[in-house]
Amino acid sequence: MPLEKRYDPKTIEPQLQTFWELAGIYRFVPGDERPVFSIDTPPPTVSGNLHLGHTYSYTHADVFARFHRMRGENVFYPMGFDDNGLPTERLVESQLGITAAEIGRSAFIAKCLQVSEELEQDYQNLWQRLGLSIDWDYTYRTIDECSRKTSQRSFIDLFQEGLVYRQEAPSIWCPSCRTAIAQADVDDLERESQLVTLAFHLENGESLPIATTRPELLPACVAIFVHPGDERYQDIFGQRVNVPIFDQQVTVLQDPMADPEKGSGAVMCCTFGDTVDKHWWYTHQLDHVNAIDQQGNLTEVAGDFAGLSVKKARQAILDTLDQQEYILDRQPTTQIVPVHERCDTPVEYIMSQQWFIRLLDFKEEMLAAGDQIKWHPAHMKARYLTWVENLAWDWCISRQRYFGVPFPLWYCQECGEVILADLEKLPVDPSEDHPNEPCSCGSRKFKPDEDILDTWATSSMSPQIVGRWLCDDDLYQQVYPFSLRPQAHEIIRTWAFYTIAKSHFHFKQVPWNAVAISGWGIAGEGMGKISKSRGGGPSPPLEMIDRYSADAVRYWATSTSMGKDTVISEEKIQIGTKLTTKLWNVARFSERFLEDFDASHGVDKYSIAGINGEHLSPADRWILSRSQRLVRRVSLLLENYDYAAAKSEIENFFWREFADNYLEMCKQRLYGEDMVQREAARAALYHLLLTIIKLLAPFLPYVTEAIFQGIFVKYEPSQSEDVRSIHTSSWPEVNNNLEDDFAELVGETLVEIAVSVRRFKSENGMALGTDIQRLQLSADDDQLAAQLERASSDLISITRAREIDVGNHLDQTLTILLDTRKIKAAIEL
């Protein structure tokens, strides 16, 4: 079936998508002898707000998958959805306007399952429409049974290795989400604040000025610290001080972490205002006063202020301090406060009992693991290493929430012993199940652990979940360690780091050979324009795909290199549309010369080996040589995950060298009567078009497939490659015999001549198709001159000269077009 005059992606893309699904083009073949390329796909957090930015990093991973598949590798490219834990709960709460506390735990979990499942269908639709070459037989949800089982198994294994522990300790707490969180869940937020200097009174009645931004923590003040070398405070070391309003007596202590430069140099230590307080509390064995409860309100120790929120209490206490004339100074200040990244609520440090995974003892191992992985771009490794170096807390994995993977354990009500679930029974819900055996103390009374695991504690097992670690060892052995982890940069410290940590703890190896870090597709000015046209919302990706094409969106997504953020640009998408149109038109042009070939040997007929070099024109030799170098370069770039440079090289070659120049040079032979010349041109054309669409197939899977199906796969099957689809066909190989420096020099000369003639016509207002009488050329180099002679058909074709005349010198009466050391050219009109 000949190619349609106009390429209509809106109808063709969905057809091809269906074809790929039905034909199983992207199936992973377990047990196959080909080398495996396995991808640890990021399970997107199901957030319910899909925008074009989501397509950005996922396109990158797909390009790699397609490249490796065409390279002959058995590509394992699964998909997952991260739908357990706090992010999903927050979504459900905001979307349905309910809270778990209101409707009860089990009803809430049911809502979470329902909402996330509906949204996941949207994600899947988008991924399929975008053309991601995922094998949908391998999908997972981080809340599904296999994930829960894997996650609980991980916990039990680590427990038995002594790598997890439960401890009553100051923990990072989000008063809004009402749960403990981990260091990695904390972000910085700048806000306006007030630094007030208060007068604390020593026993002798003297006043000690102390600055604070958190006066509401006064009831929890347990000590005052000064620097040991601070001259001002040598005398008061060890003295007792009265805390304003609350009147408890605390001691002045010394510690090098007290900075004489800050505030008055004397600082109050409260349990707990920040991590330094925690440090001092621990190292100086101070008392613990809990002033803030789990809802973020002041406790009874705050007396009249009990029950007030932190914010209200701060103001009320300030007012009282003011009335009682404790305030020496007030300074407005911008302060950086740690907040919970999910809700931007300032965190508190609250004493509570939590489960932790040991990290601080393993920093060296984690750093070494980072060095064993290839990072793309390389500088992203620095973020990982910095994070590991600065770790200050073990990994708090317990969350006081509802929707997630439960801890697989109970506590004995008699002796407090931890009873783990049986491995065979995983996954368990300890609230519904119970232990098989009585506790070693003989008791049969158990209390289930009611917390859930940090969502990262599960998603950090993604290689094990998707590789079916616990239920399909053959598969797992084939895919693990994974070839590639693609992900975005903001989750280096969470997903990447935790996955590396888990892999180290469980298997003493790194989870992947390489990690490819994508940037973000972010809303920019272009988005404003887009959103305006549809009433203000962000641009929905399916709408953009419908308006332009999946290929065009992918073109935009692969235009900025690995690791870089990029603005969502409708303009860039439009350029992608132009490229697909150009490809289509080139293919339609080529089709008429290729369709009557005796191609009974399938696509191999015009493989490079079949080209008879004797009859190739200089233009053929030039473009064939250039194409070999292109294949070499693009392959290397893609091996190194540099999709943007690869795409740009192919695009330039295709548009500037092949379409603008080569096609114009070979037309005369294609249309001409000389069958020998015609066959040579057709062979070159066949090879080049096939090479170009293959190279572009990872980027523009739809239009290249449409061309491949329309022109190259209407013959019998090839013996050497799977030509059901361009995406299972073989990646182009470099043919050294076609690489030829001299041919390239000749080709460049031909282009120079063509450009000079075009410029002449353009400057003289002539149409490009205008015939010229004679083109006279002269080259000092005899070999070059001989090639120019041989290229007369190429030159006539592109310049429309009636006659090409190659001689030793130019006729001075003619118009000189070019005069360089290499080549001189003149025309006669």
Q: Which of residues 730-759 bind RNA (CB under 7 A)?
A: 754-755, 758-759
Query: Who contacts 472 (Cβ-Cβ below 8 Å, separation ≥6)?
Result: none
Q: Which of 315, 386, 477, 509 binds RNA (CB under 7 A)?
A: 386
| Touching RNA, residues 3-22 (CB under 7 A) | 6
Least distance between RNA and beta carbon 281 (Å): 14
Nearest distance from C-beta of residue 570 to RNA, angstroms? 11
Nearer to RNA, 588 or 626 (CB): 588
The answer to whether 650 touches 695, Cβ cutoff 8 Å, is: yes
Using CB under 7 A as the binding rule, whether residue 798 contacts RNA is answered as yes
Reduce the DSSP state of residue 572 to 3 states and report it.
helix
State the nearest-atom distance from the C-beta of 377 to RNA, in Å: 8
Tell which positions 569-628 bind RNA, by CB under 7 A.
Answer: 569, 571, 575, 577-578, 581-582, 585-586, 588-589
412 versus 663: smaller Cβ distance to RNA: 663
Q: Hunting for tokens 């310049």 — which residue is that?
A: 799
Cα 251 to Cα 249: distance, rounded to the nearest angstrom: 7
**What length is written for the chain?**
829
Kindly state the smallest distance separating residue 511's Cβ from RNA, in Å: 20
Looking at residues 454 to 493 of the shown chain, list those that interact with RNA (rule: CB under 7 A): 489-490, 493
Q: How far is the C-alpha of 624 from the C-alpha of 161, rounded, in Å?
A: 61
Within 280-339, the residues that bind RNA by CB under 7 A are 333, 335-338
Site for RNA in 174-193 (CB under 7 A): 183, 187-188
138, two tokens: 């391998």
Nearer to RNA, 242 or 431 (CB): 242
Candidates 301, 514, 659, 745; binder of RNA (CB under 7 A) is 659
As measured in angstroms, the least distance from the Cβ of 33 to RNA is 35
Candidate residues 47, 294, 531, 648; the one interacting with RNA per rule CB under 7 A: 648
Phi then psi dihedrals of residue 184, to 5 deg: -70, -15
Q: Which is nearer to RNA, 379 or 445 (CB)?
A: 379
Minimum CB distance to RNA, residue 213 (Å) = 4
DSSP 217: G
Footprint of RNA on 675-734 (CB under 7 A): none
Residues 260-289 that bind RNA (CB under 7 A): 261-263, 265-268, 274-276
Give the x-and-dash track for 333-372 against RNA (CB under 7 A): x-xxxx----------------------------------
Q: Which is nearer to RNA, 67 or 653 (CB)?
A: 653
What residues between 511 and 570 interact with RNA by CB under 7 A?
560-561, 564-567, 569
| CA atoms of 326 and 320, how far apart (whole Å) | 9
> How many CA atoms, within 13 angstroms, populate the side-chain half-sphere of residue 99?
6
Judged by beta carbon, residue 493 or residue 694, the one nearer RNA is: 493
Q: Kindly report the number of other CB atoms within 10 A of residue 576's CB atom.
A: 24
Q: How many residues bind RNA (CB under 7 A)?
A: 81
186 SS3 class? strand
Tokens of 222: 């347990």
Which member of 237, 246, 655, 742 binds RNA (CB under 7 A)? 655
Query: Taking the CB of residue 627, how many other CB atoms lie within 10 A of it?
Result: 27
Distance CA 772, CA 774 (A): 6
Residue 581 or 815: the one with the smaller Cβ distance to RNA is 581
**How near is the Cβ of 198 to RNA at its closest, in Å?**
9
Min separation Cβ 825 and RNA, Å: 14
Instruction: Give the integer Cα–Cα distance in Å for 460 and 501.
Output: 8
Q: For the residues of 332-347, what is the DSSP string, one character each?
A: EEEEEEEEETTT-PBP
**Sign, Cα dihedral of 469, 475, 478, 484:** negative
SS3 634: helix
User: Can you tell me which of 152, 154, 539, 668 binds RNA, judged by CB under 7 A?
Assistant: 668
Residues in a beta bridge with 805: 776
Q: Which is nearer to RNA, 663 or 726 (CB)?
A: 663
Where are the extended beta strands (E) located within 679-771? none
For tokens 């205008």, what's the residue? Answer: 770
Tokens matching residue 64 = 């790699």
Quick one: which segment of 120-128, 139-147, 356-364, 383-391 binds RNA (CB under 7 A)?
Answer: 383-391
Work out how close the CB of 23 gets to RNA at its nearest, in angstroms, rounded to a whole number.
28
Binding segment (CB under 7 A) for RNA, from list 402-410, 430-438, 450-458, 647-655: 647-655
CB-count burial class (<10 Å; 0-12, 13-18, 19+) for 260? middle
The smaller minimum CB distance to RNA, of residues 645 and 786, is found at 645
In this chain, which of 15, 18, 324, 390 binds RNA, going by CB under 7 A?
390
Amino acid at 734: V
Nearer to RNA by C-beta: 140 or 548?
548
Among 192, 614, 741, 763, binds RNA (CB under 7 A): 763
Q: How far is the CB of 656 from RNA (least distance, A)?
A: 7
Nearer Cβ to RNA (346/448): 346
Cβ contacts of 73 within 8 Å, gap of 6 or more? 34, 35, 36, 37
Separation CA 724–CA 111 (nearest Å): 43
Residue closer to RNA (CB basis): 161 or 595? 595
Min dist CB 260 to RNA, Å, is 7
Among 327, 766, 814, 816, the residue binding RNA under the rule CB under 7 A is: 766
Least CB distance to RNA at residue 572 (A): 7
Q: Cβ distance 68 to 29 under 8 Å?
A: no
Q: How far is the C-alpha of 400 from the C-alpha of 652, rounded, in Å? A: 56
Q: Contact with RNA (CB under 7 A): which of 132, 211, 696, 706?
A: 211
For residues 196 and 713, which CB has a smaller minimum distance to RNA in the complex?
Answer: 196
Q: How far is the CB of 264 from RNA (least distance, A)?
A: 7
Q: Give dist(CA 417, CA 440) in Å, integer.
A: 8
Helix axes 618-639, 675-696, angle to 10 degrees: 10
Q: Which two tokens stand for residue 648?
A: 């740009």
Phi/psi for 194 (5° steps) reads -130, 125
